[in-house]
Amino acid sequence: MYKLLIFDWDGTIIDSAARIISSMQKAARDLDQPELSDDAVRNIIGLGLPEAIRMLIPGVDDHVIPQLRERYGYYYLEADDTPTKLFEGVEQTLINLKEQGYRLAVATGKSRRGLDRVFAQTGLEYLFETSRCADETTSKPHPHMLEEILEETGLNASEAVMIGDTEFDLEMGVRAGMDTIGVSYGAHHIDRLTPYKPVLVMHRFSDLESGLAGRAIR
């Protein structure tokens, strides 16, 4: 039933939570901000950085936000060596889905600089026809980035599905009027995803191919 599969990146395609947490904690320490727990940072994964920072540090001065963004980017992209890797089965599953005729896109809370970097590192960019990042549109859970992807691809919401590991991903999908697929192995516990009534829950990335069998519009 779907023509377009729209993927979140962090926590859905790549296992990056540990580096996100470490980088945000180091950025906060550099600027003498309150100590951030692992769970607190995990909770905001998926949001754009300004929205994430405001949630993490209520009442933070506006002038501090750009500094935190800069320090976080420095650690995540350059100075933090916490390993990140694709979840098992990602590349082959994406190749299989593309060969089956699905169109693929990315809707992520990452910056464009960050997404371009991981595209280059993983070599997966060729599989996706378009992408939207939080610093070039409205942050999740607002549906704006999905609406832009639909407009660009010429499809209706009923022809697309949003796939992600956080409640921000699924809320965004629901608000855009499209079906959602939840990921149980990512940042948010599955109990936070089920209220959005995902049509499928993936416990491994490779579950997606079998779960979608027979649903594609030809």
Of the candidates 8, 2, 26, which has an alpha carbon nearest to the alpha carbon of residue 128? 8
Annotated catalytic, 38?
Answer: no
* Catalytic residue chosen out of the listed positions 10, 80, 165, 169: 10
Annotated catalytic, 61?
Answer: no
The first and second tokens of residue 165, run together, are 């590991």
CA 52 vs CA 45, 58, 88, 218: distances in Å = 8, 10, 28, 39
Of the candidates 136, 138, 104, which has an alpha carbon nearest to the alpha carbon of residue 9? 104
Question: 163, 12 in Cβ contact below 8 A?
Answer: yes
Catalytic residues: 8, 10
